[in-house]
């Protein structure tokens, strides 16, 4: 039997190059290598813990959908859907709330981080914590359990969410009989820290990102902002720098070695940035064109997501029917 693999993406901002090389590309390559059933979903209800604006929710949801389609998600080969289009998720969420111990939620990383931050600031430990944030792991468990997921690809920092889903499914099975499949985390290889324009980790919070699907002119401007040292043209350059690290993401090994040699021979930073722009633009251009196509044809995106949700709901209804029967309401 084929395994079922599930991946969710929260729409909380526009994608940047770090998102692509750190998460999107590895996830798509992973599922392309598998002969298993792959499920991708846009976790829009999860985004409510941070997004409080209707326009942002809509914009970021389309951004995620268009980005993943442009980057290679094939809706004919995977089930690609919007979380909010699968109402069974939220019924299962409530049912699971009633078998989940409060103590398990107290140990969730996101909640613990908020408590520790509040205590350090001398505030009430639950200041700023709403029930969406507190119960977030239960909704994530519902996302995973609803589709009898075998594996959930995650980084080490997200492993706890899958472990919590396993615990919750086990609590349910102990109380109502063996009904739910216990998922397993699939720990993805740790990617190297993706460097931003200033040499720190690429992050929106640092303002050092390169937008994934900006215009060519915006891409050029971002690359020209990369921090370099004061060495002049003709002086050897160190390849342990943001510019070379970014170049290596877009170019193959052979091109990167050639570029490293040029830097060591004294290539000027201005010319180096020009060459980085050329390889980055060449790499991103085909995906960028697809992205802007989908953004200008949102009706097609809606149709893809609705068709994906229809496929997803066939499985979701079966799982929920088992659960309803187990608890005695069907």
Q: Rg of the chain's alpha carbons, rounded to an integer?
A: 22
22-69 per-position pLDDT tens digit = 888 888 887 777 678 999 999 999 999 988 899 999 999 999 999 999
pLDDT digits (tens, 9 = 90+) for 71-112: 999 999 999 999 999 999 999 999 999 999 999 999 999 999
Q: Is the pLDDT of residue 245 over 80?
A: yes
For 292-312, the pLDDT digits (tens) are: 999 999 999 999 999 999 999
Give the C-alpha separation, 133 to 49, whole Å.
6
Taking alpha carbons only, the member of 70, 27, 43 closest to residue 140 is 43
Residue 179 confidence (pLDDT): 98
In three-state secondary structure terms, 207 is coil
E-assigned strand segments in the chain: 4-9, 37-42, 79-82, 151-154, 184-187
* Alpha-carbon gap, residue 82 to 308, rounded angstroms: 8
Give the residue-averaged pLDDT of 111-134: 95
Which residues have C-beta within 8 Å of that of residue 52, sequence separation ≥ 6?
none
What is the value of pTM for the model shown?
A: 0.90
Q: Which run of H or E residues covers position 321?
A: helix 298-327
Delimiting residues of CATH 1.10.240.10 domain(s) in the chain: 213-291
What are the residue ranges of CATH 3.40.50.620 in the chain?
4-193+298-327
pLDDT digits (tens, 9 = 90+) for 6-34: 999 999 889 999 889 888 888 888 777 76
Chain-centroid distance, C-alpha 245: 22
Residues 319 and 146: beta-carbon distance below 8 Å: yes
Going by CATH, does the domain composed of 4-193+298-327 fall within 3.40.50.620?
yes
CA gap 45, 153 in Å, rounded? 20
CA distance 51 to 261: 46
pLDDT class for 192, splitting at 50, 70, 90? low
Mean pLDDT for all residues in the chain:
93
From CA 95, how far away is CA 87, in angstroms rounded?
A: 13
Q: What angle do CA 176, 40, 30 make, to 5 degrees?
A: 110
In whole angstroms, what is the distance from residue 262 CA to residue 240 CA?
14
Q: What is the rounded CA–CA span in Å between residue 118 and residue 96? A: 28
- C-alpha atoms less than 13 angstroms from C-alpha of 300 in its C-beta half-sphere: 12
Phi-psi region of 7 (alpha: psi -120 to 50; beta: other; left: phi over 0): beta
DSSP secondary structure string for all residues of 130-198: -HHHHHHHHHHHHHHHTTT-SEEEE-GGGHHHHHHHHHHHHHHHHHH-S-SPPPEEEEPPPPPPPB-TT
Residues 6+ apart with CB under 8 A from 67: 15, 24, 212, 213, 291
Taking only the tens place, the pLDDT of each residue in 132-184 is 999 999 999 999 999 999 999 887 778 999 999 999 999 999 999 999 999 99
CATH class held by domain 213-291: mainly alpha
Q: Do 110 and 133 touch, CB atoms closer than 8 A?
A: yes
Give the pLDDT band (50/70/90) at residue 205. confident
- List the Cα angle 242/247/249 in 5-degree steps: 100
pLDDT at 210 over 90: yes
Residue 239 DSSP code: S
């Amino acid at each position: 039997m084929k395994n079922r693999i599930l991946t969710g993406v929260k729409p909380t901002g526009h994608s940047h190059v770090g998102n692509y090389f750190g998460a999107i590309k590895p996830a798509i390559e992973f599922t392309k290598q598998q002969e298993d059933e792959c499920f991708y979903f846009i976790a829009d209800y999860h985004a409510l813990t941070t997004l409080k604006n209707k326009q942002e929710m809509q914009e970021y949801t389309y951004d995620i959908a268009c980005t993943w389609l442009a980057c290679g998600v094939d809706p004919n080969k995977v089930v690609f859907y919007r979380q909010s289009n699968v109402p069974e998720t939220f019924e299962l969420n409530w049912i699971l709330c009633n078998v989940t111990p409060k103590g398990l939620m107290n140990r969730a990383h996101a909640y613990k981080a908020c408590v520790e931050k509040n205590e350090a600031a001398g505030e009430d430990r639950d200041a700023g914590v709403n029930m969406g944030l507190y119960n977030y792991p239960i909704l994530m468990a519902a996302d995973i359990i609803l589709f009898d997921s075998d594996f959930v690809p995650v980084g080490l920092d997200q492993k706890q969410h899958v472990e919590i889903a396993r615990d919750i499914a086990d609590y349910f099975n102990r109380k109502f009989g063996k009904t739910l499949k216990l998922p397993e985390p699939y720990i993805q290889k740790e990617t190297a820290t993706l460097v931003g324009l200033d040499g720190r980790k690429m992050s929106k919070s640092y303002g050092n990102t390169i937008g994934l699907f900006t215009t060519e002119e915006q891409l050029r401007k971002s690359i020209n902002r990369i921090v370099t040292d004061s060495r002049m043209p003709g002086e050897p350059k160190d390849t342990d720098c943001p510019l070379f690290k970014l170049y290596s993401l877009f170019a193959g090994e052979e091109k990167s070695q050639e570029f490293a040699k040029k830097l060591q021979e004294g290539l000027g930073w201005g010319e180096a940035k020009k060459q980085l722009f050329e390889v980055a633009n060449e790499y991103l251009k085909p995906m960028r064109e697809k992205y802007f196509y989908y953004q200008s044809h949102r009706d097609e995106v809606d149709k893809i997501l609705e068709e994906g949700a229809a496929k997803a709901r066939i499985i979701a209804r079966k799982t929920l029917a088992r659960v309803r029967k187990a608890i005695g309401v069907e």
